[in-house]
Structure 1
Amino acid sequence: MTRIAIIIGSTRPGRNGEAVANWVYDIAKQRTDAEYELVDIADYKLPHLDEAAPPSLGQYTQPHTKAWAEKIASFDGFVFVTPEYNHSTSGALKNAIDFLYGEWNNKAAGFVSYGSVGGTRAVEHLRLVMGELQVADVRAQAALSLFTDFTDFTEFTPAAHQVGAVEAVLEQVVAWSGALAQLRKAA
């Protein structure tokens, strides 16, 4: 069965991302088209990139990198739950992505973002990064506003229509993950 990771893209104390990712995961668990798993980058305690060799060589030496690589390699696709910090994604998520290369290749990615303008600028940056990693990013996106999908900017209270946006992301990520399976086999 296709395996999709829902990745919490923030490590900030008091982060909104955990509530958002849990909500996405609850929606995903109701589906039967893939196996979904919640992955928290905070659990891997990745320091600022500390591998001597470029990730494209796959010569990982650090135990945290090896654990992260094993986890990411086990998936066919990803849904990144990302905040928008200063018109981009979180440094923690970018760092976690940059630790690896081959483990991302020929897989699909979708985005659920949040911020003052729905996190759309963070996703714009992530789409560029995904292209370099040979990840097919899907068009659908759920963009959550701190003004309308949160109470007092901290309590996650998504508008009802956002469920459909998440469903569209999941649908496309699963479809593209399946379509890319032949490329993963060939690699």
Structure 2
Amino acid sequence: MTRIAIVTGSVRPGRHSLTVADWVKSIADKRSDAQVEVVDIADFQLPVWKEAVPPSGASGGSTEQSKAWSQRMGEFDGFTVLMSLFHDFEGFTKFAPSKPATAAVGPMLDNLVLWTKAMEAVRAGEFEVDRKAA
């Protein structure tokens, strides 16, 4: 089954991104086409990215945090990173999803699962790009 990570978008004190991620997961859990899990970036104590190569590099980074992050994200077929928008909060403190935000979750997940499945052959190395033609 396709595995999708819902990644929190903030580590700051008082953040609401974990609340939003759990809300999105509660909607995603009603689907049968993907297994969804919340990944809290606060669990990895990531510094601002300071590696010489991007996270997609073969080494996965040189710090223990970046290696742990790369390993964890490698467990998933696709992911989305959530950013909380303050118009979805009452008085900027209580999460209250707006109608447009609620309506957007299903189509976002539809597209995420579709593109994740479309990329399976690429991730498996079954598809090669002629880089000379590009």
- Give the TM interval when normalised to the shorter protein: 0.7 to 0.9
Q: Distance in 1 between matches of 2:122 and 2:27?
A: 28
Match of 1:170 in 2: 109
Q: How does 1:1-187 map to 2 (within 5 A)?
A: 1-51=1-51, 53-55=52-54, 57-59=57-59, 60-83=61-84, 114-115=85-86, 146=87, 149-186=88-125
Structure 1 segments of 4+ aligned residues over 2 angstroms from their partners = 48-51, 55-61, 159-164
- Bigger relative contact order, structure 1 or 2, given CA contacts below 8 A and separation 6+? 2
Q: Deviations over 1:62-96 (max 9, x none)?
A: 2111110011111111121014xxxxxxxxxxxxx
How far 1:177 moved relative to its partner? 0.5
The structure number with the bigger radius of gyration is 2
Find the aligned partners of 1:33 and 1:4 in 2 and give their Cα distance. Answer: 10
Change (3 A) 1:73 1:160: same
Contact kept? 1:27, 1:163, Cα under 8 Å? no
Q: Secondary structure at the match of 2:82?
A: strand
Bigger Cα displacement from structure 2, 8-17 vs 160-169: 160-169
CA RMSD of aligned residues (A): 1.7
CA deviations 1:102-122 (Å, max 9, x no partner) are xxxxxxxxxxxx24xxxxxxx
TM-score, structure 2 as length reference:
0.83
CA distance in 2, matches of 1:18, 1:156: 11
SS in 1 for 2:83: strand
5+ residue gaps, structure 2: 127-134
Query: How many percent identity over aligned positions?
Result: 43
Letter in 2 for 1:54: V
Give the equivalent residue in structure 2 for 1:97: none
Secondary structure of the residue that 1:4 maps to in structure 2?
strand
State the distance in 2 between where 1:155 and 1:57 align: 39
Q: Which string of whole-angstrom CA distances, capped at 9 and with x for unpartnered residues, describes residues 98-156 of structure 1?
A: xxxxxxxxxxxxxxxx24xxxxxxxxxxxxxxxxxxxxxxxxxxxxxx2xx21101101
Give the number of aligned pairs: 124
Aligned residue identity for 1:172? N
Amino acid at match of 2:82: V
Q: CA deviation at 1:50?
A: 4.0
Secondary structure at 2:124 match in 1? helix
2 CA distance for matches of 1:49 and 1:165?
A: 30
